Amino acid sequence: MPERRTVALVTLGCARNEVDSEELAGRLEADGWQLVENAADADVAVVNTCGFVEAAKKDSVDALLEAGDLKGHGRTQAVVAVGCMAERYGKELAEALPEADGVLGFDDYVNISERLQTILNGGSHVPHAPRDRRKLLPISPVERQNAGADVVIPGHGPADLPEGLAPASGPRPPLRRRLDGSPVASVKLASGCDRRCSFCAIPSFRGSFISRRPGDVLNETRWLAEQGVKEIMLVSENNTSYGKDLGDIRLLESLLPELAEVDGIERVRVSYLQPAEMRPGLIDVLTSTPKVAPYFDLSFQHSAPGVLRAMRRFGDTDRFLELLDTIRGKAPQAGVRSNFIVGFPGESEADLAELERFLNHARLDAIGVFGYSDEEGTEAATFENKLDEDVVAERLAHISRLAEELVSQRAEERIGETVHVLVESVDDEEGVYGRAAHQAPETDGQVLLTGLTGGEDVAVGRMVEAKVVGTEGVDLVAEPLTGTSVWGEEAGR
């Protein structure tokens, strides 16, 4: 019997890429490939790249080069680039990076097994010429669902799959294969974006906004629960737009309670919310539905009105603060995170001071700060009044220091609060760590649960009720509450 072909998936970038990698894993395993964790143990190393900003693109290139170094020194015979950077640059990336034996775009995903086998056999695959994927779907959102059936959209696998194409679990299993044993998994709610932020190139290579149907999201969540997942995180480029192409802009408000009722799911988290599209009904559902985290990942980007207008965005400091007051009026412990760009073309000292005013009053739990840099193909790249690189770097350092201080202060405000912590790691030496409702995976800090060792009540995936007693920067230290440790049992939630 011939030895099975092996493949390793190396994923960079956001949670949406993680979902895409698990779709590729499902397709490959269904066609007989053996999935291995380390690229050095694989015949083919597939690097799922990120094409968002320069730093992310550099990380992707470094990962491809690192995988390329394995060729000729072990099992690895080929390195293939997929993902956003591969889609965005196609042939250009292939020519600039000969270390990659193949550069595959999104249209290649449905034939990923065939493409890898061709490359592994010494053949070549002609990389695509990049195109604006917004033009693949109709301008009118309500016309996209039928047209979308003919467009490859990663993470939107068909609802009814041929027998054997995914694990035989549930009535309609997703086109997906889990790549780790984490109790947390992302679920793609939609793909693409209709907004035209002047600094962002994502819509050009991810395409126009298109929602997944609620039944598909529910079935995937049920399947994930069967795999041991306890928390799902809904991801897309803009979750607040969910349902607009299905005829119901308030569809998320009705879907969230249904997801929270799935057996085995203990927490539902929504990411990527646009402040300008927040509505009272969505805030109500996010702050009052059992098992739905009162968590608001709001993409503010700045708060000075002039800068926001140049970004093709809406709002200002006072309106943003009013939004946060509304949220905390309904859920005082709600978690809020956001990202900001400093050094945008034309940003004045007064604009920077306005951003500082917002940050000082916003009480955000997590803050990401980026220095502006031109992204090719974006409107902002053509703007005048660009700031010198050293000015951008200085402002980045200044706001980053402020952000670090403010999120530490916000963590200290949580001392005395009761939190529900999803256990994610248990180690006799390192301790027991997890995340509270206001902390998203990998980005917002974690909670150290004191006085616990491994056992049934603190195994990975258990929900522990605890009281916050201290902080370590953005991280919390909490003591489990006796008799109320497990959400859904002792806690009665």
Numbered residues of the known binding site for [4Fe-4S] cluster: 14, 50, 84, 193, 197, 200
Burial class of 43 by CB neighbour count within 10 A (0 to 12, 13 to 18, 19+): buried
Kindly give the residue spans of alpha helices, DSSP state H, lying in 103-260: 112-120, 144-147, 202-206, 214-226, 251-260
Q: Which residues, 6 or more positions from 212, have their beta carbon under 8 angstroms from its beta carbon?
A: 155, 156, 188, 189, 190, 191
Half-sphere exposure (CA, 13 Å, Cβ side) for 359?
30
Distance, in Å, from the CA atom of 341 to the CA atom of 392, rounded to the nearest integer, reads 10
Structure tokens at 65: 């080069």
How far from 113 is each of 37, 104, 343, 355, 409, CA to CA, in Å?
18, 12, 44, 49, 50
Structure tokens at 405: 């201080």
CB-CB contact of 174 with 226 (8 Å): no
Distance, in Å, from the CA atom of 491 to the CA atom of 493, rounded to the nearest integer, reads 5
Structure tokens at 406: 């403010």
Structure tokens at 141: 């959102």
Angle at Cα 424 formed by Cα 418 and Cα 430, nearest 5°?
95
Binding residues: 14, 50, 84, 193, 197, 200
Q: What is the DSSP code (8-state) at residue 357?
A: H
Phi, psi angles (nearest 5°) of residue 7: -145, 140
